[in-house]
């Protein structure tokens, strides 16, 4: 029997499957100080983004030696001190395949929202304002979408955007993708200069330095749209706000923030911004796939 702690929620069907396998599953969120004590009692922790598994949590777990595996139900693992955990013999795994389509659809949703003023029009209509003449948008068809990062999510978004007759260009640290000749690899400066929409799909830098800051905004065409469903730290929020106010950036779709819940109220309340509370993987379908992938990981490691 494995003692499993699920801290940030998990598909109910997957939880039941784990119980049916004879495991003891506890579903409860703990604040850091309490988690330090609770973690000593479990063989496995399943987290999403809310729970941070830092060095002090890992050190506490080492006191009993029970903890063998940490699973992140999602893609990014920056809320876990991965190198430290693995140096102490605790494996860290994630579920990179399960949420790709969900995140890509949310990025596309933000693109539609910005291009057609869906968010702000919805809000002002509820205030009994008829701003029909103010909301003349643009069509996605025929526009150039630049993808920074061309992994699973980037490729899913490329596929969906191509169906809308967008032109797809991309940049990736690994270089051109040999299995995707229908999309064009370009250097980052060209992507910044040529794109009408830019969507980020890269992990956070280890030092939390931004991928996009003032220097990159300067290289973009005027009136560009920026989408970030990756990690909050990859875009400098101060520089983004300046670019929005100057008109360099026509709109920004944001699902992730350096601090969550976000504290930069000027940015999230900006009329040119479409915001969501880190819900990229929050679909019923994605959560079921994540549950299936978590079960597979557990079977492989216990």
Structure tokens at 105: 């659809």
Out of 231, 237, 270, 293, which one is annotated catalytic?
A: 231
Q: Tell me if 302 sits within 8 A of 22, measured CB to CB.
A: no
CA–CA distance, 62 with 36 (Å, rounded to integer) = 10
CA–CA distance, 14 with 21 (Å, rounded to integer) = 11
- The torsion defined by the Cα of 231, 30, 16 and 106, in degrees rounded to 10, comes to -20
Out of 165, 259, 260, 300, which one is annotated catalytic?
A: 260
Strand (E) or helix (H) holding 282: none
Q: Tell me if 224 sits within 8 A of 195, measured CB to CB.
A: yes
Residue recorded with tokens 């060095």: 55
CA–CA distance, 230 with 75 (Å, rounded to integer) = 9
Residue 231 a catalytic site member = yes
Out of 72, 201, 278, 289, which one is annotated catalytic?
A: 278
Q: What is the DSSP string of 193-244?
A: HH-SEEEE--PPPTT---SBSHHHHHHSPTTEEEEE-S-GGGB-HHHHHHHH
Strand (E) or helix (H) holding 107: helix 100-115
Residue 278 a catalytic site member = yes
Active site residues: 231, 260, 278
């Amino acid at each position: 029997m494995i003692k499993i702690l699920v801290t940030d929620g998990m598909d109910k069907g997957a939880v039941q499957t784990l119980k049916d396998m004879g495991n003891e599953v506890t579903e409860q969120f703990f604040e850091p100080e309490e988690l330090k004590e609770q973690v000593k009692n479990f063989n496995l922790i399943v987290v999403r983004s809310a729970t941070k598994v830092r060095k002090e949590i890992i050190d506490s777990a080492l006191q009993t030696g029970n903890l063998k595996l940490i699973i992140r139900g999602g893609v990014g693992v920056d809320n876990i001190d991965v190198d430290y955990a693995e140096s102490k013999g605790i494996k860290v795994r994630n579920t990179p395949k399960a949420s790709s389509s969900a995140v890509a659809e949310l990025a596309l949703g933000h693109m539609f929202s910005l291009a057609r003023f869906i968010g702000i029009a919805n809000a002002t209509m509820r205030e009994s304002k008829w701003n029909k003449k103010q909301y003349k948008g643009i069509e996605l068809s025929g526009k150039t979408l630049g993808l920074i990062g061309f992994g699973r999510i980037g490729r899913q978004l490329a596929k969906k955007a191509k169906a809308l007759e967008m032109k797809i260009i991309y940049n990736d640290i690994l270089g051109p993708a040999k299995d995707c000749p229908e999309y064009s690899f370009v250097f980052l400066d060209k992507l910044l200069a040529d794109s009408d929409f830019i969507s980020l799909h890269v992990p956070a830098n280890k030092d939390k330095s931004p991928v996009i800051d003032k220097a990159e905004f300067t290289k973009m065409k005027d009136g560009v749209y920026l989408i970030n469903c990756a990690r909050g730290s990859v875009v400098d929020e101060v520089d983004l706000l300046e670019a929005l106010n100057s008109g360099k950036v026509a709109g920004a779709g944001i699902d992730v923030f350096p601090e969550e819940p976000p504290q930069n109220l000027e940015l999230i309340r900006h009329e040119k911004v479409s915001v969501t509370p880190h819900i990229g993987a929050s679909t019923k379908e994605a959560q079921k796939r994540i549950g299936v992938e978590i079960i597979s990981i557990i079977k492989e490691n216990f």
